[in-house]
Amino acid sequence: MKVLLINGSPRANGNTARALKEVADTLAAEGIETETVWIGKQAVRGCIACFQCMEKSLGRCIFDDDIANRIVEKLPSADAFVVGAPTYYGQPNGAFLAVWQRVCVAGRAHVAGKPAASIAVCRRGGSTAAFQCMNMPFEMLNSLIVGSQYWNIAFGREPGEAAQDSEGMQTMRTLGKNMAWVLKNLHREGAVPLPQREEWQPMNFIR
Q: What pLDDT is stored for residue 197 in this prediction?
A: 87
Q: What pLDDT is stored for residue 200 in this prediction?
A: 84
- Over residues 145-153, mean pLDDT: 98
Is residue 183 a part of any domain in this protein?
A: yes
Q: Show the domain range for 101.
A: 2-187
Is residue 6 a part of any domain in this protein?
A: yes
Q: Please provide the DSSP assignment of 33-54 as one string.
A: EEEEEE--SS--PPP----HHH
Instruction: With H, G, I as helix, E, B as strand and everything else as coil, classify residue 176.
Output: helix
- Inform me whether the pLDDT recorded for 204 exceeds 90: no
- Inform me whether the pLDDT recorded for 207 exceeds 80: no
Please report, for the domain that includes residue 15, its CATH number. 3.40.50.360
Question: What sign does the CA torsion over 140, 141, 144, 145 have?
Answer: negative
- Over residues 104-114, mean pLDDT: 95
The percentage of the chain sitting over the pLDDT mark of 70, rounded to a whole number, equals: 100
Q: From CA 29, how far away is CA 140, in angstroms rounded?
A: 31
Grade residue 157 by pLDDT with cuts at 50, 70 and 90: very high
Enter the pTM of the model. Answer: 0.95
